[in-house]
Structure 1
Amino acid sequence: MTLAVADGPLKDADISFFEAARSTPDRVALSDSTRSTTWIELDRRANRIARKLIEHGVRPNDKVAILSANSVAYVEIMFGILRAGACIVPLPTHTSSATWSGMVKDSGARMLFASGTYLTELKSRADFGLADSHIVQLDEATLNEFVSGAQETPPDVVSSLDHGFNLIYSSGTTGVPKGILQSRSYRASEAAVMARGYGLGTETRTLVSTPLCSNTTLFVLFAVMFSGGSARLMEKFDAGKWLALAEQWRPTDVILVPVQYTRLLAHPDFDRFDLSSFRNKFCTSAPLSAATKAEVLSRWPAGGLTEFYGMTEGGVSCYLNAHEHPGKLDTVGLPFPDCDLRVIDNDGQILKQGDVGEIIGRSPRLMNGYYNLDDATREASWFDETGTRFQRSGDIGWVDDAGFVHLLDRKKDVIISGGFNVYAVDLENTLIQHPDVREVAVIAAPSESWGETPVAFAVLRDKASADMVCQWANLRLGKVQRLARVVGVEELPRSDIGKVLKRSLREQLLPLGTLP
């Protein structure tokens, strides 16, 4: 299958939602563990929220922040923000009150919806900045009170595809979180590509188990909703509960991050559940190992498996329909047809096919820039001879003769040992083959002899010896790749969507000092 690209005029979110509400008014659009709502109810609720936002002074392209766990109310607020012509700021749930406060102020959010303890923590900060009249507690009773008296018809709002759709703050895996501004055009193009490429429509049912603050969640959720489908929201991922719900609710399409696939496959009852309803299974946020891809295809064939490689910033975008290319499971697939993908060296020169360098790309799905950070936007950009901007990925890789993209490592994570480049992914792919290794991440440690040397952090099965795993791996690795140490840990530090926080692992290295 060749992925179709968006053609013809793009539809803004409001138009797509309006059409779904009118064509299938009584179909369930959203549900969670406590309630559900139909398309016509969702449409009316969005209108009422939008009108109240406008009453509070929210204007087209203004920012409105949300901080909460997954719920129907969360999505209703998002649609209300869009209906008001404003821009959604979904704040990450797993961070500190100081960081939340900084994001609210950086975004210039005119209003904030927050639930429970999140709201309590934020309001305890003297430097928070929003007046109480512009803060709404996100629960059913308070939201009902907020929309009381508002009309159910659409407000008279003029918005543009150039306006902001959402401002997503990065997970902070590389330092202070940056605001990534995606336009309505970005999201409309993305939804059109997904709908046409993977057959999304009114019969599509997606099970959402990653946080609504994440681009991983939003790009599939909005594509499904643009298509008039329905979504079942999980407040928190649990492998056993997910499997039971999937068997009961019969979803057709789902996106999961790599750690979720590994935990589902590792569940002792995985093979007992009926997962035959799936038409598409997607994976993104971090590379999925070739071994795990093969296991998914073998043990969970329904819906195949498509891995997406890209960035919240956009520009770079690839897809691998793994079920169609079983010989390419060690890649992240082909560039999207409308993605101009290139590989450059450290001097910014374009490399020939097969050479290793930094991956850059440009497509219709390209962020406006890092919000309030022009210097950071320029640093993450590459310009061709015509001045056209490409997005730097920060990833090192190469493109093979068939056009498939191979990833090696994050540029900043390449381990330079004795003058040789060592790629953590190669070591991780070897270690994960050990029967006692459940999860693993490799980072650089300072070394007296080599400058840097690889150290692995591994989640091991009961009674497994980290030293024995290290010896086993080193027998299979090249001389310059050999691990200085394997450190056994109970779990790897992860972001909201399961990305390993290697910065946190580097902090754990400090007590080890410089290795030989």
Structure 2
Amino acid sequence: MTGIAFRELSPVSFLERAAAVFADRPAVVDGERRDTYAQLWQRAQRLAGLLAARGVEPGDRVAVLSPNTHLLLEAHYGVPLAGAVLVALNTRLAPAEISYILEHSGASLVLVDAEHRDALGEQPIPVIDSESYDELVDGAEPHRVEVADERSLLSINYTSGTTGRPKGVMYHHRGAYLQALAMAYHAKLDTSSQYLWTLPMFHTNGWCFPWAVTAAGGVHHCLRKVDPGAIWRAITEEGITHFCAAPTVLSMLAEHPEARDLDHVLRVFAGGAPPWPALLARMGELGFDIRHLYGLTETFGPAVVCEWQPEWDAADAQHRARLIARQGIGNVVAEPVRVTDPDGEDVPADGLTPGEILLRGNNVMLGYYRDPEATDNATTDGWFRSGDLGVRHPDGYVELRDRMKDVIISGGENITSIEVENALTAHPDVLEAAVVAAPDEKWGEVPVAFVSLRETGGASEAELVEFVRTRIAAFKAPKRIVFGDLPKTSTGKLQKNVLRNKAVSG
């Protein structure tokens, strides 16, 4: 009976199905390249054959260093089809960091985009670059290794390593399969969807959208780098209907000279950092349908989604922006989110009492690769500890207050950086803001703000401090404001660790 009632889950099966039912439909747009789903399935199987011919065996790790091109998309299928484990590398890492990950993961082969070949340096393992990749794949024999255990290793995603060596987060086939379905469901993907790859596929496997878009039979539009002009052109010329992005990318789009009101529905998943209400209101004015997500590398990307409720339609624009700025509820395949106090008890759902956000379920990692101590430290009583501070509202929606390490303790009072940032970005001259702690002899710590102004903005430090004091308690206002561009990661997240170092050094 088991044979007909159960099959090991793997996201690779989405492509097999798409090749059968959407064979001649477009699957991939990458520059001048156009592939159908039948062609993508053939290429994925031939990539698996190429890897096997180069000595890759089931369980081996295959690393990929590439921007969002068809090479990296195909690797999300071809590598697991070979029975191997995908290790997608951040293209902005330094050569030493890449070497560490290759050594730590035990990668046996690297696929690399020619533009990033120098970042690899001299490696003791085989390398296939994009200049020969297509020809080699076309000449390979199709190959497939069946998944014997859905909880076996599918990919390893390395964290940014801002506070030490990056950790390898282990994803399993079952989790990726279910998370992909959750993303397809919440994003309302279907065969008419035109998905633009603004989010790096190397970042938590692109929040599982390499598999989600395929499951829905939509079109993958590859984008080598985030460029607001290119994004606006894709929206206009290609009819893009979906993309994912950090709030800073949305800010770039809203401020770009080509920004215009949309003439079709465009759904955006925003995550990586809490979007500020003023930005959400601006994007809403342009016609973007924003959905706020929350998650971590350890949770296959977005484990929590701010699910829209029709009753919110009657609210005014500013109130709606505050509602959708919340992180929300567990996605359709996740377990309910908990917010707990230091004793492990759930905090009251009053929207005020803070606690640590805990998660568990099928879309949580197996653990950290070759690091059982870190795995133990990140879990408690069967729950993953996010390290994020949040509150639960009476309607059950969770709202992030801060990273626990980012809470500023000034004179015994807790100040959450997000609250101060939201107050700053409500000023019409402010484009972006980041608030961190700086040491202070009297108060222990005080908030320092780093602010990027709009081109037309001319607000002074005194003006902004006074503006913040009219919106939140005066002691929470920044004691110093530094103007200028804010440092960001390749995914558009603010690098608060860099700003903290600046604040400490003065």
Contact 2:169 2:365 in 1 (8 A): yes
Match of 1:319 in 2: 305
Match of 1:213 in 2: 202
Distance (whole Å) between structure 1 residues aligned to residue 45 and residue 324 of structure 2 = 45
**Residue 115 of structure 1, CA deviation:** 2.3
Match of 1:386 in 2: none
**Residue 215 of structure 1, CA deviation:** 2.1
Measured against aligned partners, the alpha-carbon deviations of 1:35-91 in whole angstroms (never above 9, x if no partner) come to: 121111111111111012112222223210001122112212332112112111110
Contact 2:67 2:91 in 1 (8 A): yes
**Residue 402 of structure 1, CA deviation:** 1.0
Which of the residues 122, 129, 143 maps onto 1:137? Answer: 129
Measured against aligned partners, the alpha-carbon deviations of 1:6-32 in whole angstroms (never above 9, x if no partner) come to: x99674223221111122222221112
TM-score by length of 2: 0.90
Match of 1:3 in 2: none
Match of 1:340 in 2: 336
Which of the residues 80, 83, 97 maps onto 2:81? Answer: 83
**Residue 156 of structure 1, CA deviation:** 4.8
Contact 2:329 2:337 in 1 (8 A): no
Q: Which amino acid aligns with 1:314?
A: T
Q: Which amino acid aligns with 1:392?
A: R
Match of 2:317 in 1: none
Distance (whole Å) between structure 2 residues aligned to residue 343 and residue 31 of structure 1 = 42
TM-score by length of 1: 0.89
- 1:292 maps to 2:268: no
Q: Which amino acid aligns with 1:497?
A: T
Which of the residues 464, 468, 479 maps onto 2:463? Answer: 468
Contact 1:29 1:229 in 2 (8 A): yes
Match of 2:140 in 1: 150
**Residue 96 of structure 1, CA deviation:** 0.6
Matches within 5 A, 1:55-454: 55-124=53-122, 128=123, 130-131=124-125, 134-139=126-131, 142-147=132-137, 149-151=139-141, 153-215=142-204, 217-271=206-260, 274-278=262-266, 280-301=267-288, 304-314=289-299, 317-322=303-308, 324=310, 325=312, 326=320, 328-337=323-332, 338-354=334-350, 355-383=353-381, 389-454=382-447
Secondary structure, counterpart of 1:15 in structure 2: helix
Measured against aligned partners, the alpha-carbon deviations of 1:93-132 in whole angstroms (never above 9, x if no partner) come to: 11210000000111111111112353223224xxx4x33x
Measured against aligned partners, the alpha-carbon deviations of 1:248-291 in whole angstroms (never above 9, x if no partner) come to: 1112222222111111112233125x44143x321111111122
Distance (whole Å) between structure 1 residues aligned to residue 40 and residue 210 of structure 2 = 15
Contact 1:220 1:255 in 2 (8 A): no
- 1:509 maps to 2:503: yes
**Residue 511 of structure 1, CA deviation:** 3.5
Secondary structure, counterpart of 2:195 in structure 1: strand
Secondary structure, counterpart of 1:110 in structure 2: strand
Contact 1:454 1:484 in 2 (8 A): yes
Contact 1:10 1:189 in 2 (8 A): no
Q: Which runs of 5+ in 1 are unaligned?
A: 1-6, 384-388
Choose 251-260 or 330-339, whichever is displaced more: 330-339
Matches within 5 A, 1:39-58: 39-58=37-56
Distance (whole Å) between structure 2 residues aligned to residue 86 and residue 419 of structure 1 = 51
CA gap 1:259/1:58 in 2 versus in 1, 3 angstroms = same
**Residue 439 of structure 1, CA deviation:** 0.7
**Residue 203 of structure 1, CA deviation:** 2.6
Distance (whole Å) between structure 1 residues aligned to residue 120 and residue 243 of structure 2 = 33
**Residue 330 of structure 1, CA deviation:** 4.2
Distance (whole Å) between structure 2 residues aligned to residue 485 and residue 298 of structure 1 = 32
Secondary structure, counterpart of 2:107 in structure 1: coil
Distance (whole Å) between structure 2 residues aligned to residue 198 and residue 506 of structure 1 = 35
Choose 96-105 or 202-211, whichever is displaced more: 202-211
Contact 2:292 2:325 in 1 (8 A): no
Secondary structure, counterpart of 1:446 in structure 2: strand
Q: Which amino acid aligns with 1:183?
A: H
CA gap 1:258/1:9 in 2 versus in 1, 3 angstroms = farther
Identity %: 31
**Residue 190 of structure 1, CA deviation:** 0.8
**Residue 155 of structure 1, CA deviation:** 3.0
Match of 2:316 in 1: none
Choose 353-362 or 458-467, whichever is displaced more: 458-467
Distance (whole Å) between structure 2 residues aligned to residue 16 and residue 335 of structure 1 = 23
